[in-house]
Structure 1
Amino acid sequence: MRDTLTTVIIRVSEARVRPERFEAFREMIVSAVRAFSGRYPGLVQHEVLLSPPGALLYVSRWHSEQDLIGYAGEHWRDQPVVLPGEEEYLLAPLQVRHFMLEPLS
């Protein structure tokens, strides 16, 4: 049985990036998310994962659904958070998925 006090929601936003714009997009995302820890209560951890030249993942871990609503809004389950001007770097719209950690012990 899951302990709801230790539940963490893992949010993965995947960007398919225009290869010629990859470095500029990486810089924009890293700069933007650097301030998220102090801005969004409930953000446990976050990281940017790179797969040049065409993909970038923003992975964040959240304490609760309420925390995700504070970050991404009421439609957090299926709508990605898009930064202003982000679409000019992308080959396709952002994709967002959510996971819950399954304890192994």
Structure 2
Amino acid sequence: YIKGQPPLEPWHKEPELVVWVGIDSPHTVSGFGITLPLKEYAPDELKKLIEEEGTSQFEEIIAKHDAERKKSEDLATRKKEAEDVARKVAESAGVELLEDKR
């Protein structure tokens, strides 16, 4: 959808044209919003701007998701390494290992 947005918040100092870009996939529907200056656009101009800004923001979203996934994977790896060391220490000391089931 497209709607006009007046300057409502401190970070929205100028009126904007808000465009919601929907992404359909087999298992979900998601999307994100982009903002453009509020003015009249020729149809081809608007389509080109939406495509350019949408592509740019989508690439940023994917990069952020990839960085968060890598951070999560790194944390899981470090946790497993720490648990392996704790398991060896507990076994050699003959004490019970308290495992985190999360």
- Scaled by the length of structure 1, what TM-score is found? 0.22
Determine which structure has more spread, i.e. the larger CA radius of gyration: 2
Alignment TM-score, normalising by the size of structure 2: 0.22
